[in-house]
Amino acid sequence: MNAELIEKLDQKVARIGIVGLGYVGLPLMLRYCEVGYKVIGFDIDQSKVDALRAGQSYIEHIPAAAISNAAGRGFEPTADFSRASDVDALILCVPTPLNKYREPDLSFVLNTTEALLPYLHKGMVLSLESTTYPGTTEEELKPRIESRGLKVGTDIFLVFSPEREDPGNPNFTTRSIPKVCGGCTPACLEVGVSLYRQVIDKVVPVSSTQAAELTKLLENIHRSVNIGLANEMKMVADKMGIDIHEVIRAAATKPFGFVPYYPGPGIGGHCIPIDPFYLTWKAREYGMHTRFIELAGEINSSMPDYVVSKLSLALNQRNKSIKGSSVLVLGIAYKKNVDDVRESPSVLLMEKLRDLGARVAYSDPHVPSFPKMRAHSFDLSSVPLERSTLQQFDCALLATDHDRFDYELIRKEAPLVIDCRGKFAEPAANIVKA
């Protein structure tokens, strides 16, 4: 049966279903449409479905024209999961957050799987792209699928292929980023490779779904640990009166054995603050305590408090306290040049400052209004970054270094700048490194 499915995938007559139309699912949908597949997009958020049906985009770096072009090629957005019976491949791109105890929350994956189960059929492939701990595909998805009388590897094919999207990065696209894929059986892997090889330039097969799951965790833990090191080095360098960004730039001139990572006010996004804890949780099942990973997490999680302490000291030196002061947060996206605020340290900084009595506002050219978030709430809109705006605040806190900010204007007009990103290399009376 896998030969028939592979032929349909290779001939691009298979219909693709993508579940979860966010920062991962939407670019993937566009790529499948681009090469000629018919795609059905599933999302439980009716507002997203309505926007896509109207040819609108809700992600900044994806233009509305791309959505309209996809619709012209046969893309259908829907909230009706029964349409899953019409597809030959299902790709799950749903969130995997942490719960309040910093343990894996698989509710989105499992609820989505349960909603799809009645519509699974023989001769289809299901791929999970959501980052998770090793064993999820085999231990959670496979038994649920086989409870419907479908034998994985014979009737239906199950793979794990972690997403590797980097929103806002102009150098890498869905097509050009290599795709790791692991299958529950050799037949599953063969189908999984066929699913992706028509839309991704390089598919990297691995021996199992567990290996693919751990690959994704290693990638993000690598970043978390190195960012934690950079953040700790920043605090040490600050005590010594040394600019850590100057040191990193100098070290990066070494053509071997060094990769530059940069400090900041914390870590954000849907991967790096979350994924390491998926492995630390799973490692406990094997009697392992991942001290190195957890230490990096502790350092990175402490950075918002470090920034607030630097801001408080700077205000105090100007005979002001945080309480009653006005603070303009520059950038609330989790990284520069994107509109994504998930797990953004800027939001944590805003909450901490508000709780300490500061009057908080923000300016972000990519986020015009503070979005609805599960754990955070501000009734704010972005204020324009102008001379008069900067002058009316006691402090400007540079949390996200968007390219669209006028840094010379900030340097000249803000009474006090707390620089978390090393954008101001020259010393100045109103610039404080944090």
Q: Kindly list the distances between the CA atom of residue 200 and the CA atoms of 35, 162, 176, 302, in Å, as whole numbers in the listed order.
A: 10, 13, 6, 38
The last residue of a domain, from among 155, 175, 207: 207
264 in a domain, yes or no?
A: yes
Is residue 177 domain-shared with residue 245, that is, in the same domain? Answer: no
Task: Give domain status of residue 214, yes or no.
Answer: no
Residue 215 in any domain: the answer is no
pTM as predicted: 0.92
Helices (H) and strands (E) in the chain, counts: 15, 13
| Residue 257 placed within a domain | yes
124-144: pLDDT as tens digits: 999 999 999 999 999 999 999
Beta pairing partners, 113: none
Q: What is the pLDDT of residues 323-376, one digit of tens each?
A: 999 999 999 999 999 999 988 999 999 999 999 999 999 999 999 999 988 778
pLDDT at 420: 96
DSSP labels, 21-51: -STTHHHHHHHHHHHT-EEEEE-S-HHHHHH
| Straight-line distance from the first to the last Cα atom of the chain, in angstroms, rounded to the nearest whole number | 59
Query: What is residue 373's predicted lDDT score, i.e. its pLDDT?
Result: 81
The continuous run of DSSP H or E covering 398 comes out as: strand 395-398
Amino acid residing at 112: T
Q: Domain check: are 35 and 176 in the same one?
A: yes
- Is residue 295 one of the residues assigned to a domain? yes
* Residue 222 domain flag: no
Number of domains in the chain: 2
Query: How does DSSP classify residue 104?
Result: B
Domain co-membership, 168 together with 301: no
Pair 367, 378: CB distance under 8 Å: no
Last residue of a domain, one of 207, 236, 267: 207
Task: Please report, to the nearest 10 degrees, the dihedral formed by the alpha carbons of residues 351, 355, 358, 362 taken in order.
Answer: 10
190 and 326 share a domain? no
Q: Pull the structure tokens for residue 341.
A: 């605020």
133 and 275 part of one domain: no
Q: How far apart are CA 98 and CA 28, in angstroms?
A: 24
Question: Annotated catalytic, 271?
Answer: yes
Q: Are residues 16 and 159 in the same domain?
A: yes
Strand pairing partners for 158?
126
For residues 160 and 306, state if they share a domain. Answer: no
Domain that holds residue 167: 2-207
Task: Decide which of 179, 207, 235 is a domain's last residue.
Answer: 207
Distances (CA, A) of 151 to 17, 33, 124: 20, 30, 11
The HSE-up count of residue 72 (CA atoms within 13 Å, CB side) is 7
Tell me the β-bridge partners of 363.
330
- Please pick, among 33, 181, 184, 271, the residue that the annotation labels catalytic: 271
CATH number of the CATH domain containing 130? 3.40.50.720
Same domain (yes/no): 279, 418: yes
Does 189 lie in the same domain as 238? no
Report if residue 218 sits inside a domain: no
Whether residues 132 and 17 share a domain: the answer is yes
Within this chain, do residues 193 and 337 fall inside the same structural domain, yes or no? no
CA geometry: angle 309, 272, 274, nearest 5 deg: 90
Same domain, 284 and 184: no
Nearest to 260, CA basis, from 250, 268, 270, 269: 250
Domain assignment present for residue 192? The answer is yes
The residues of the chain scoring below 50 in pLDDT are none
3-class DSSP string for 143-167: HHHHCCCCCECCCEEEEECCCCCCC
pLDDT value of residue 430: 97
| Residue 82 per-residue DSSP state | G
